[in-house]
Structure 1
Amino acid sequence: MRKFIFAVIAGSLFYATTALAAVNVNTATVDQLQTLDGIGSFKAQAIVKDRQANGDYDSLGQLSRVNGIGAKTIESLRSEATVNDESAGADTGS
């Protein structure tokens, strides 16, 4: 029984840590980008293509370079995405 309880607690902690980890749009793969709300396959591929052509994003606001990503999408991403390895919500750029 103790092993079961330990496994449940360990699994919960792993899930919570994973859920809180921000997706870095400058290093994320297409698959990782697709985990973000409002970002499907097409937009994820477009982000990677834009990043390769124009360089890293200095702020989440620069995602507006990508066709189909506007202010509403960018605002919704602020809680789960970042342009560096800090936590989500730390990016204050437009």
Structure 2
Amino acid sequence: MPISQNHRRAAACTHAVFALALCALLTLAGGGSPLHAANKVAEAPAATATASTVNINTADARTLAVALNGIGLSRAEDIVRYREQFGPFTTVDQLTEVKGVGTATVEKNRARITLD
């Protein structure tokens, strides 16, 4: 192989390594992209919502899913269906009667839950 081809191949490898390193650096640093910034903004309301209280007798499924740790949208919909079928919750512990909601989930959310 002539020297000029070796030089071109080495230069191409150097450029590829540099591009890969730059991509990795931008990924680790967050890149400053609008998409990354939008994700940070979208995360902020969820953190605020989880710190507040939620009335399990009046909240819709989306509100329950955002406000309660360990409760996703599907389980929140189950809570709303239970409430519609059996009436308002009279105690926080009554949440354990909803399939998939255990004592541990109730305990980690007890301070957030209101009934009135």
TM-score under structure 2 normalisation?
Answer: 0.54
Change (3 A) 1:53 1:38: same
Decide which structure has the larger Cα Rg and report it. 2
Q: CA deviation at 1:70?
A: 1.0
Q: Which residue of 1 aligns with 2:3?
A: none
Asked whether 1:47 is paired with 2:79, we answer: yes
User: Are 1:34 and 2:65 an aligned pair?
Assistant: yes
What is the count of residue pairs matched by the alignment?
A: 69
Which has the larger helix fraction?
Answer: 2
Contiguous gaps of at least 5 residues in structure 2:
1-44
Identity %: 36
1:68 alignment partner in structure 2: 100
Q: Kindly tell me: are residues 81 and 48 of structure 1, through their superposed partners in 2, closer, same or farther at Cα, counting changes over 3 Å?
A: same
1:21 deviates by 3.4
Calculate the aligned-residue CA RMSD, in Å.
1.8
Change (3 A) 1:66 1:19: closer
Q: Which structure's relative contact order is higher, taking Cα pairs within 8 Å and 6+ residues apart?
A: 1
Regions of 4+ moved over 3 Å: 17-21
| In 2: Cα distance, 1:61 partner to 1:18 partner | 22
SS in 1 for 2:111: coil
Q: What displacement does 1:37 show?
A: 0.6
- How many Å separate the matches in 1 of 2:74 and 2:85? 16
The letter of the residue matching 1:70 is G
Corresponding position of 2:18: none
